[in-house]
Structure 1
Amino acid sequence: MASLQGLDLEEQMLRGTLSFDALEDAVLRCTGCTAPGRCAHWQAAHQGTRAAPPDYCRNAPLFARLQAGKP
């Protein structure tokens, strides 16, 4: 999902805008998603685009913050 937002989370960590703990939390939010099938379908349908994440994405606030350049 991060890639579809134009975000490279490894690069964000190297820049200091994403801590290891924040990445770990994001992974846990993702793995705890209640709609993994919907998410996979959404991602497949949006490959090659920079579409905003779906409303049910638990990491949408993190992605928005990183896109805004805020740590």
Structure 2
Amino acid sequence: MQDRDSLKRHAALVDRMAETLGIDLQEAALEGSVAMDEIADAVLRCTGCSDPSHCAGWLDGHGHGAAQTPGYCRNRDLMARLRPGVA
């Protein structure tokens, strides 16, 4: 079982990744593009990452945005589906 701090850290990483790709997860949920359970599952997938510090560094280096997640991202498919302009 993940502890609260770990879940919060990974929830923040998922949200930052989405923002970096131009995705507003809250808006996507309100529009019905993603279910809240999918977001929760994304956070749990993220907790399985072996190097969240590397991800945080990648996000820091892409403050201007990015077209896609890094290849190792466990939520790559979800983010690609939600990315604006992707049908």
Same fold (TM over 0.5): yes
Distance 1:50 1:36 in 2: 18
Alignment-derived partner of residue 40 in structure 1:
56
**Residue type of the alignment partner of 1:53:** T
1:49 to 65, 69, 76: 65
1:26 to 32, 42, 50: 42
> Taking structure 1 as the reference length, what is the TM-score of the superposition?
0.88
Question: SS at the partner of 1:2?
Answer: helix
Runs of 4+ in structure 1 deviating by more than 3 angstroms, as ranges, are none
| Contact in 1 for aligned 2:68/2:80 (Cα 8 Å) | no
**Residue type of the alignment partner of 1:27:** V
Q: How many residues align?
A: 69
Identify unmatched segments of 5+ residues in structure 2.
Answer: 1-16
Identify unmatched segments of 5+ residues in structure 1.
Answer: none
Shift of 1:57: 0.4
Q: What root-mean-square deviation, in Å, do the aligned CA atoms of Structure 1 and Structure 2 show?
A: 1.2
Matched, 1:14 2:23: no
Larger RCO: Structure 1 or Structure 2 (Cα < 8 Å, ≥ 6 residues apart)?
Answer: 1
> Taking structure 2 as the reference length, what is the TM-score of the superposition?
0.73
